[in-house]
Structure formats: structure tokens, C-alpha cells
Amino acid sequence: MTQDLEAVLRKSLDEADRGVKVLSTIFILMTVLVAAGLLYLAHLPKTADVKTMLLFSVVIIVINQAVSATVSCVFMTAMTRKTLKAIELSSRE
């Protein structure tokens, strides 16, 4: 029974590791998108003044931070839930 518990826990932890890899990929993609957005903002036509460009850049960064926090909380909650569910199921046996 101890080996079954270890196998279930190992499987759950492997799923959590895959989740971390997905989360890292999402963060890299978001970083690239923010950099692209800021580069686009820097190459706007000269009709945009500095105040508008600064406002848009701050909005892009704030939205990125909010999405990053939300995505990381969702992934961490899902990974923790999977691990705890696996432990609970194995302890019932």
C-alpha cells in the first residue's frame, strides 16, 4: 500500500511539474507579447505625444501584471488540488 501511495503521489507531482512547464511557457509568451506591444508603441506615428505613449505603456504593463497574477494563481491552485486529491484518494484505500 505504501508503494501505491508513492506511485499516486509521484504521478500527481509529475502532473504538477508539467503544469510548471506550461506556466513558464505562458510567461515567456506574455513577455514577448508585452515587448512587441511596447515596440509597436515606440514606433507609433509621430502624431502621438509622449503623454499618450507613456499612458499606453503603463496600461500594457499593468494588464500584463494582472494577467500574470491571475494565471499563476489558477495554475498553482489546480496543481495543489490535483496533489491533494491524489493523496486523499490513496489514503482512503
pTM: 0.66
Give the domain range for residue 44: 2-92
Distance CA 49, CA 55 (A): 10
**Of 8, 54, 64, 63, which is closest to residue 32 (Cα–Cα)?**
64
Domain count, the chain: 1
Q: Over range 10-14, report the average pLDDT.
A: 80
Query: Could you report the per-residue pLDDT of 44-78, keeping only the tens digit for each?
Result: 766 667 787 788 888 888 988 898 899 888 888 88
